[in-house]
Structure 1
Amino acid sequence: MLFIVLALIDLRLATIALLLWLLFNMLMNRGRLYAGKRALLKTKKAVYVAFSTSIDFKKSFLSLSRGMRILGGRVEPSQLVEFAINVSRKSARYRGKRKMRGHTVTIDYTLPRGRYFKVHLPATLRRSAAVGEFPKVSWESVRARLTAGKSKVSLVVVLDSSASMMYSIRGILTALEAVKREARKFRDRVALVVSKGFGAAVAQHPTTNFNLVLSKISRIGLDDFTPLASGMYLGYNLALRERSKGYEPILVIISDGNANVPLERRIRGMGYRHFAFDPAVQSVLEVAHLIAKSGIETVVINTKHREVLADAAEGILSGTELLMRVARITKGEYVGIVG
């Protein structure tokens, strides 16, 4: 109303007042997007935000983030995606280890440390043969078992196949390729859910064959519609099934946040809570609350991150704000790729 009055008096004065208001609004809301964060890493090409408050997450983050801090601005977006997934995997494994206390599995070998250790016989014999002392074995050839909790992780990837994702697929594949190398040691599983058209479908049921999933991601066709809520809901149900089989599920949501297709039916138990004017956005936030109740580890990857410079209208969210809110609700991790 004030701007209209000023415009009637002097158009230039109204323009200056509007610019000053926008500048003030931008400065006041600069940190609003990251409200509630527990960790924040920013580079020129990407941003990483974590909202988890669990002890398992803190231990995982501290052990894996040292290299990221050293690299600083030289970290590539695919490296941040890999980092986020690995933090969630390690956190989930900590949680699963408590459930299966005392059960361990040999995943690799290492040099002996301490007075007591278990010998990794195949590695010891290989080393003995390599140095030419077989069938004798010297102390220098002895290798110890590297063990870890027997709990296994299941990654459920929810992929938005909208046309705007075209230029982001390569970076996502690079990150998942890096995750694959580590996951093979633990026989972790991966599944793929694709949001396309007016619904979602399981493109690949849980498998230990990461190559199969990677090849399917590279061949997925693109569409103008984004039923993100449907993909999240299907991924959520798949994650629950994996949990019932003894796996620790991690939901990896890859999207640009431009949801435009709502769920066909409202979720039971959500009541009539209002989150947004847009039905598609409302559906996404309802599913996010459902995921939060289940305690499933969640990683949200935004392939089109944009810094919020001004306050949006009540109930209207940009793609970045929507995905950030999903990460905040689920107490998960957010990786925004600036593009």
Structure 2
Amino acid sequence: MNPRGLFQDFNPSKFLIYASLLLFSVLLPLRLDGIIQWSYWAVFAPIWLWKLLVIAGASVGAAVWARNPRYRTEGEACVEFKAMLIAVAIHLLLLMFEVLVCDRVERGTHFWLLVFMPLFFVSPVSVAACVWGFRHDRSLELEILCSVNILQFIFIALRLDRIIHWPWLVVFVPLWILMSFLCLVVLYYIVWSLLFLRSLDVVAEQRRTHVTMAVSWITIVVPLLTFEVLLVHRLDGHNTFSYISIFVPLWLSLITLMATTFRRKGGNHWWFGIRRDFCQFLLEIFPFLREYGNISYDLHHEESEDAEETSVPDAPKIAPMFGKKARVVITQSPGKYVPPPPKLNIDMPD
């Protein structure tokens, strides 16, 4: 176990998004099945929390940017600050859409085309953000999803207003095209992982990485596709499954995405004006966590030929990461007498 390797690439922004979507995807089917009778404003509470943190983080980051001009010369500070502003603009448009959805569901006084209007605006903004992100080598996910789904947004709005009377299977044709591309990505990773497993010239670490990527993509895409197929059949009246059973595959995909955030590099350092990795910022606030981050444990189990003899376990390896003093004590195990080794006091360099 190595806490440093687990959290050094942690992406808190993506973890927040996936956690909010997971909680929302739990509350929504409960409301649709009538198990809870909450207002949709309460069902959307995880989405409101997500957007509130985005707005608060951008506001604090903008205040730190305005009050400290010297920070603007640190590496790619200007690029990251502009990326934060673009992300806030997209999130504000999404927030407007979500507010209109709740108002339309609760009162039902306006057309769905009006509700989807913010999404019609977010698509060209996302296209411009993608162009800017490719030029500055920025990671893009939400922007790509919003930019390629403009036709899907139009079809759903027209179908909900009964301007078109297509079955939902046809309405979701743009989504099937996108999912077919993701299936090709899954097939790509599966083939490469099999080739790396059969190759003798590839080190074990590379094999493990490709197998992990293949398993992750399978666990994300296959349940997501299953959820979409079940939902479309439910909307067309071809099955009578409960919404909870339909949303179960989606939960599996979101949980997998949350797990991948611990190995996803990136994240904008200007959220809340942190200007450093989230792990380092957290360790500065809670210094006692450094004791756990300093030590990585290497456990070895060996079968002894003599049942009465017990071996002394290997000493834990010390990872000098945070400049703290670590104390390692090797204790004697019961069984055959072994002279007690001395205690080790190790001063770790800053």
Q: TM-score, normalised by structure 2?
A: 0.24
Larger radius of gyration: 2
Which structure has the higher relative contact order (CA within 8 Å, separation 6+)?
A: 2
Q: Considering fraction of residues, name the structure with more strand.
A: 1
